[in-house]
Amino acid sequence: MDQFIVKGGTPLSGTILPSGNKNEALPALAAVLLTEEPIVLKNVPEILDIQNMRDLLQSVGVEIVNLEPHTFRLQAQSISTDMPSFQKASLIRGSFLLAGPMLARHGSIHLPAPGGDKIGVRPVRTHLQALQHLGAQIELSPEGNYFMQTNGLRGADIYLDEASVMATENAVMAAALAEGCTIIHNAASEPHVQGLCCFLNAMGAKISGIGSNIIVIEGVASLHGCEYTIQPDHIEVGSFIGLAAVTKSELLIQKAGLPHLRMIRMMFEKLGVTTVIQGEDLLIKKEQKMQIASEPFQGVPKIDDAPWPGFPADLVSIMTVVATQCEGTILVFEKMFESRLFWVDKLISMGAKIILCDPHRAVVTGPAPLTGTTLISPDIRAGMSLLIAAMGARGTSVIQNIQQIDRGYEQIDVRLNTLGANISRISSS
């Protein structure tokens, strides 16, 4: 496995372009199964999770051609209903996104349990309930594999027991070809869910309520091919804001996808990190206050995540690193995943002042000078957070298990080195 050797303490400068949204590209790739006609997807991030998803689609017969960097033509003309590659499906949670499209178009699918980051229990109960409401029969084998089939999906009035992003996406894709009208209440409304719905509409679906928590889908007989461009990744943009703050750098993030950044920018302001809009771009200046804002009558300030339009859970790890470099004390309250904060012991080993109160809460006091050390990346977002910490630390850090970072951030070492970072990728072989 490769590792990063990071020499910290060097300010960065320059411009950087965010990749396409990973969490939009994954369901969009799955949605090509809904039509026999060719689909052209643009601005697809070329990261490990996307490569695994492409391999998974090819294992069921999807033809994929790389037209140019970040642009692919996909055609699902002749599809196998056999179980997709178990190995590939176990690597990414996005493998479960095949359920809705395959049921809608072929009437059956055999799937292993999904893989992905180990940041909590992450059950698929909500997916299964939504698909059952639409007419799917689901059996679970003793080995933990799911066999799903239907004699025909029909529209339904569905109330999700949680605003699950992937369950919403699975239900929307299945309902797009179902007979009749489907209404999904308590639907997720994250930017990547909105993007998937817009993509499906470009294919001929009839979806309204996009961006709200009530999505209405009028089923159609068939979908057609189209071209679609994946949106910028707001999580990557948030990561770059955190990087600039921790390394005391001035960065310009180009084509940052500003409409989806309002809550993210507000949360950074709590830490004394301000951003400046310049057309479609976002500027983070070198001089930042880096002081945790007091909140009169509300006790200790806090960073807390919530379903969209709340603060994204995927940025909690980034914000934790930034908080270690800010003056003051703040509560980090991770509400959505019960194992996501367990990586903070690695920050503590670098010198951070963090008290882990329980699986969901940590108290961070700063500023605390960080010192380079040997680290292991546990998941995508914690891995990127450790890379940011290493770049802001004194001395040299070694980050192992970096394939976790590669799953979500395209050529991150190459891109950051063009800004002045000192990151070397070393093969352990």
91, 114 in Cβ contact below 8 A? no
CB 65 within 8 A of CB 50: no
In Å, what is the CA distance from 45 to each residue of 182, 186, 229, 418? 31, 29, 11, 19
CA atoms of 415 and 18, how far apart (whole Å): 10
CA atoms within 13 A on the CB side of 123: 6
In which residue are the tokens 């006091």 written? Answer: 365
User: Is 161 marked active-site?
Assistant: no
Structure tokens at 253: 């993030």
Report the SS3 class of residue 337: coil
Dump the DSSP string for 8-32: -----EEEE-PPB-HHHHHHHHHHG
**What is the DSSP code (8-state) at residue 294?**
P
Cα separation, 62 vs 46, in Å, equals: 18
Chain-centroid distance, C-alpha 227: 22
Sign of the dihedral defined by the CA atoms of residues 313, 23, 204, 128, in that order:
negative
Rounded CA gap, 162 and 10, in Å? 43
Q: Which two structure tokens, joined as six digits, stand for 311?
A: 């603060």
Number of residues in the chain = 429
HSE-CB for 36 with a 13 A CA cutoff = 6
Output phi, psi for 83, to 5 deg. Answer: -60, 130
- What is the sign, positive or negative, of the torsion defined by CA atoms of 346, 373, 387, 47? negative
CA distance 371 to 60: 48
Q: Which two tokens stand for residue 300?
A: 């200790």
Q: Which amino acid does the sequence have at 174?
A: A
CA distance 197 to 201: 6
Of 117, 233, 305, 314, the catalytic one is: 117
The catalytic residue positions are 117
